[in-house]
Amino acid sequence: MELTVAITGASGTVYAYRTLQLLVASGVVKTINLIMSGVAPTVAQVETGANIREPNAEKINEWLGLEKDSKIVRFWRLDNLAAKPASGSNKQAGMIIVPCSMGTLGAIASGAGTNLIHRAADVTLKENRKLVIVPRETPYNAIHLENMLKLSRVGATILPASPGFYHRPQTIDELVSHLCFRILDQFDIPHSRKTQWTGEEVRESEQ
């Protein structure tokens, strides 16, 4: 399977980091086309301490804990509109934007994209492939909601960064993983099932 993953400048880089790790470890994803907005490396540094300013393939592999010469994640510059994800003739399963800023959301919804993230998302929609958008903003204003509705109506999946708690998470990592598992579910990519709802009743003594 081949996927495109875009990271924008919204807060929530940890969701992108964990999603990429899970995709790499899944055994079914062979190629990940990675695109980062101009602000994304700065947000990553602020939130996680990651040193990926002026990102390139070697820095990305180091960030994800991969071998220096690993080819599973292919990094594409934001201004490279000749990149593989920019063309519908490049067969792939779809695209994930995690986290997705409201600026990126609006550009895609308007169809007036100016960079590779916008173009790749537009291509995903026009080719009827799965586009999963993970917005990380609160509260949403009416413009944000209207843009989400517009994209949902044309086939995108809006998957807000809102993790569940029914699996009784004990750590932030467990919360993050729960949401990332839901992202992988959109593509039927295997992962740990420990956060999956079982349907079992909770005894009164456990409440």
List of domains in the chain: 2-40+76-193 (3.40.50.1950)
pLDDT band at 195 (very low <50, low <70, confident <90, very high): low
Task: Note the pTM of the prediction, 2 decimals.
Answer: 0.92
Which token pair is 186?
A: 């959109």
pLDDT at 15: 97
- Say which DSSP state 84 is in: G
Q: Is pLDDT above 70 for 203?
A: no
Q: Is pLDDT above 70 for 143?
A: yes
pLDDT tens-place string over residues 9-61: 999 999 999 999 999 999 999 999 999 999 999 999 999 999 898 899 999 99
Phi, psi of 158 (to 5 degrees): -95, 115
pLDDT tens-place string over residues 78-136: 999 999 999 999 999 999 999 999 999 999 999 988 999 999 999 999 999 999 999 99
Residues contacting 161, CB < 8 A, separation 6+: 12, 15, 98, 99, 134, 135, 136, 179
Amino acid at 183: I
* Burial classification of residue 92, based on how many CB atoms lie within 10 Å of its CB (0-12 exposed, 13-18 middle, 19 or more buried): buried
